[in-house]
Amino acid sequence: MRNRLKVLRAERDWSQSDLADRLQVSRQSVNAIETGKYDPSLPLAFRIAELFGLAIEEIFTSPSREDRP
């Protein structure tokens, strides 16, 4: 699953540790989500969306939807 987490984090000048603290997860979890090595649970995806004030779909993109216009 692709995501805009790194871009959104950088726009706020947050480190991975800053974001991890806000989400109550490890920095390694943030890194794994940003690099696509880990897909967050639905509750974590909702926390991420709420933190950035966006809908989940505005942050995460399903690979099957990427090819659509």
Tally of CB atoms within 10 A around 57: 10
Question: Where exactly are the structural domains of the chain?
Answer: 2-58
Please answer whether residues 49 and 59 qualify as being in contact, where contact means their C-beta atoms are separated by less than 8 angstroms.
Answer: yes
Mean pLDDT confidence for 18-30: 98
Q: What is the rounded average pLDDT for all residues in the chain?
A: 93
Q: SS3 for 27?
A: helix
**pTM assigned to the model:** 0.87
Domain 2-58 annotated CATH 1.10.260.40:
yes
- In which band, very low, low, confident or very high, does the pLDDT at 62 lie, cut at 50, 70 and 90? confident
